[in-house]
Amino acid sequence: MKKTVDARGLNCPQPVILAKKALEENKNIVVIVDNKAAMENVRRLGAKLGCSVEIENSGENEFHIHLTGGHIKPAAIADVQVSCSTSSGELVAVISSETMGSGDDELGKVLMKAFVHTLIQADELPSKMLFYNAGVRLAAVDSEVLEDLKNLTDAGVEILLCGTCVNYFNLSGKTGAGKITNMFEILSVMSSAARLIKP
C-alpha cells in the first residue's frame, strides 16, 4: 500500500527528511510538495537511493513525487545526506573565526554562538559549512556550539574542517563534528557556490 507524505508548506530540508523516514518503512510512497525546489530535492533523494521516480504536476504549485524502491536498506538511507537547493543556487557558510564581527572578542563569541544556534532554524540551510583558521575551534569536543553543529549535520549540512588549521591548533582527534578537508576542496566549494555566508 502506497504511503502519502504531505509536505506542502514545509521548508527545506523537511520534505526530504520526511521522505527519507517514510522510505525506511515503506518502499512505495508519494510525496506532495508545493514548490519546485522541494520537488527537485525529493527527486534527487529518490535518485540517490535508486528509487524509480515519477512526478505528477497536479497544479501550478503542486507536485506529487512517486518514489518506488527496490531493495532499500535503512542503513543505506541513513547514509544519504539531505541536500537542499533553490533556484538561486548552492548556499555555503564560511566560518573563519570563533567570533562574529570585530570590536570585542567576548561579545563576538556570544554572537557567533547565537548565529550557529539560529542557523538550524533558518528557512534555507547551507549545503556546506567551511571552517578554517580559528573557526575550526568551534568544532572541538568542548565547544559550546558542538551540539548545534551535530544538529546541522543531522539536517544534511556537510561540515568541512581545514586539516592544516586543525593541526595548527592541536585539535587532531579532538573534534566532535565535521570531517577534515584540504585547501583544494575548500577553494573548490567556495568557487562553485552561488552564495556565501560569512558571519
- Residues 93-129 have pLDDT tens digits of 999 999 999 899 999 999 999 999 999 888 889 999 9
pLDDT at 86 over 60: no
50/44 Cα distance (integer angstroms)? 10
Q: Which has more pLDDT, 128 or 183?
A: 128
Instruction: For domain 3-79, give the CATH superfamily.
Output: TusA-like domain (3.30.110.40)
C-alpha cell at 199: 558571519
15 prior amide bond cis, ω within 30:
no
pLDDT at 15 over 50: yes
Confidence grade of residue 87 (pLDDT, cut at 50, 70, 90): very low
Outline which parts of the chain fall under CATH 3.40.1260.10.
91-197
Outline which parts of the chain fall under CATH 3.30.110.40.
3-79
Give the CATH number of domain 91-197. 3.40.1260.10
What is the b/e burial string over 94-107, where b = at least 16 CB atoms within 10 angstroms of the residue's CB? bbbbbbbeeeeeee
For helices 14-25 and 36-48, the axis angle rounded to 10 degrees is 40
